[in-house]
């Protein structure tokens, strides 16, 4: 019985997430575009990977879900001390998904 309760308790958040719908459904795309320009994300990516910076969007096997993409944007915000709020992180990730990854459009 304890095992069943533990399994249900651990599985409930996953079930809720699955029912919540696409991660970027209510994201503010205009805000994401503004934040990308304001924080000069492309210039940083060019410094990191060269060329036009777009190679950063397809690291081999690292970013393979919408959640991983959002996590990477959150990581950049933390590492660069940008102080983005959660809804801003989601907005930036939604723009990157639209322009480079298309996770939310493969359903």
Query: Is residue 57 packed enough to be buried (19+ CB in 10 Å), middle (13-18) or exposed (0-12)?
Result: middle
Q: Say whether pLDDT at 82 is over 50.
A: yes
Ordered alpha helix ranges (H), 39-97: 41-49, 66-79, 86-96
| CA–CA gap between residue 27 and residue 88 (Å, rounded) | 8
Q: What is the pTM of this model?
A: 0.76
Q: What is the pLDDT of residues 28-76, one digit of tens each?
A: 999 999 999 999 999 999 999 999 998 888 766 788 899 999 999 999 9
């Amino acid at each position: 019985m304890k095992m069943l309760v533990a399994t249900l308790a651990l599985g409930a958040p996953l079930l809720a997430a699955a029912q919540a719908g696409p991660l970027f459904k209510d994201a503010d795309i205009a805000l994401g575009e503004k934040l990308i320009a304001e924080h000069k994300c492309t210039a940083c990516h060019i410094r990191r990977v060269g060329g036009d910076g777009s190679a950063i969007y397809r690291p081999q096997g690292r970013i393979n879900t919408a959640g991983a993409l959002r996590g990477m944007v959150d990581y950049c915000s933390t590492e660069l001390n940008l102080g983005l709020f959660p809804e801003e992180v989601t907005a930036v990730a939604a723009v990157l998904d639209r322009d480079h990854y298309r996770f939310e459009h493969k359903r």
